Chains A and B, each alone.
Chain A
Amino acid sequence: MGNQWKLKEIVLMSILGVVFGIIYLAFFLIGQGIRNILAPFGLAPFGYEIIFGIWFIVSIIAAYIIRKPGAAFTAEVIAGITEVLLGTAAGPGLILSAAVQGAGAELAFALTRWKDYRLRVLVLSGMTAAVISFAWHLFYAGNIALAPGVIVATFAVRVFSGALLAGVLGKWISDQLAKTGVLRGYALGKELQKQREQGAA
């Protein structure tokens, strides 16, 4: 996070973090709703897992737009701080959970040395975030007390959700934003511009 970061990139990352912090809080209620619907079928543990990917999305969006080491991690932590400042059920420990998830998402980008931002890497990032965060919740939320079958099934659902809701949806939202032209000053917008010029030539 040194000098190679421009101020506008940092402010953008912070604003994304704050905005998605609120969205994350809203999805907590949605998860609770899904869980109440699923509970009579005995599927309550899956209530949050189905939509768990949404809680990694800011990592993917920030990394995909800004394309610098640390973007995925920091944006997620900022979202976590916002949630804590606004008041959340998970408590200040949520900042730790956010750091773990952000590190998980960052891992996929680190593996490609922060050079590859194709869909497959974004999907991988959603999945690594899911894997790491799942391990963390085994300990932190006490999920380790659940039956092995339930643990394996919830794990599969979370990874799938991470791939889809964070990876694919994150890319889609960023691409839609890039189309509006507001990202012209950032890596994603510049890439789009280049593609357009090549297409025109």
Chain B
Amino acid sequence: MISSINPSIKAIAVLIPGIMLGFTFDVFTPLLYFIFILIVTFTMSDIPISKWLKFFSPFLIVAASFAWMTILYANQTFSYGKVLFTIWGLEITEGSVITGCSLALRSLCFVSLSLLFALTTDSTKFMLSLMQQCKVPPKITYGILAGYRFLPSFREEMEILKQAHRIRGVHRTKGIKGKLQQLKRYSIPLLASGIRKAERVAIAMESKGFTGERERTHFHQLTVQKKDWMFLALLIGGLAVIYITSYYLGYLNIFGKQF
């Protein structure tokens, strides 16, 4: 189960393929890897398909618009092949369509890798793991956790601000200038109260004996096990196999160079 994989290793496991995908400009490689990630997502985790689709579907539009832009504005290296059609005086070639689809599929790979991580990882455990495995200073990780915890309270404070404005007769304003002023009226007090909270939390932490030393005990002891390394090997190895396959089938294209 992916939710039990060590969060730091999981982060590395989705990060490295993310970088490696940056080299390809053909359709075959990212498409195959996208299918691979889908298989991993739905066989090894218990993310419901409906929930996954809810997060994923908006990015289809993003990816499509990304592809369209590349198709229109591809440079000479990537607009090889014959001209397919002309639009707004721009010649659309076979190569630019392939590059556009490749970049769109690449971004879909990024999204699905991201969801694979975000939907199976508990933020507290991720921070604990960053502290224990990646040796990130506890001051920073606990700081982030404290900041993360304040998120729900911002909404509450926004309500209070709105009510305070209303009781003092400050109304909604019209026009761009008014909107900007309104933005200032909300954002500065919200940030200011966030900063006050940061200060209070820091003092509370110190008064309760938090020194920020690395030599400390943890409520949750996270370890790296064999299955974590296997997961890492699976995601990276999967991409390596796909790269090799697409090389032998003659599809591989790295930075516009066909192999």
Residues of A in contact with B (beta carbons under 8 Å apart): 1, 5-8, 10-19, 22, 32, 35-36, 39, 42, 44-45, 74, 78, 81-82, 84-96, 139-142, 144-148, 150-151, 173, 176-177, 180, 182-183, 185
The residues of B that contact A11 with a CB separation of less than 8 Å are 139, 143, 146-147, 198-199, 201-202, 205
Query: Across the interface, do A91 and B74 meet the contact criterion of CB distance under 8 Å?
Result: no
CA distance A92 to B113 in the complex (A): 8
Contact: B194 with A15, CB < 8 Å? yes
Q: Does A44 contact B18, Cβ atoms closer than 8 Å?
A: no
Given contacts A14-B143, A39-B65, are A85 and B126 in contact (CB under 8 A)?
A: yes
Q: What is the interface of chain B mostly: helix, strand, loop, or mixed? A: helix
Considering only residues 13-31 of chain B, those with a C-beta below 8 Å from chain A are 14-15, 18-19, 22, 25
B19 touches A147 (CB 8 A): no
Query: B41 interface residue, CB < 8 Å from A?
Result: no
Set B110, B146, B206: member contacting A90, Cβ < 8 A? B110
- Cα(A141)–Cα(B109), bound, Å: 12
Q: Which residue of A lies closest to B112 (CB)?
A: A91
Q: Is the CB of B75 within 8 A of A145?
A: yes
Judge whether B39 is part of the interface by a CB distance below 8 angstroms. no
In the complex, are the beta carbons of A32 and B62 less than 8 A apart? yes
A181 to chain B minimum Cβ distance, whole angstroms, is 8
Query: Whole-angstrom distance between the alpha carbons of A5 and B139 in the complex?
Result: 10
**A89-B62 contact in complex given A10-B139, A145-B256, A182-B196, C-beta closer than 8 Å:** yes
| Sample (25) of A-B pairs whose CB atoms are under 8 Å apart | A6-B202, A10-B202, A11-B139, A11-B146, A12-B199, A14-B198, A18-B144, A32-B62, A36-B65, A44-B68, A82-B148, A90-B110, A91-B111, A91-B114, A91-B117, A92-B14, A92-B117, A142-B70, A142-B102, A145-B70, A145-B77, A146-B73, A146-B75, A147-B74, A173-B191
B132 within 8 A of A: no
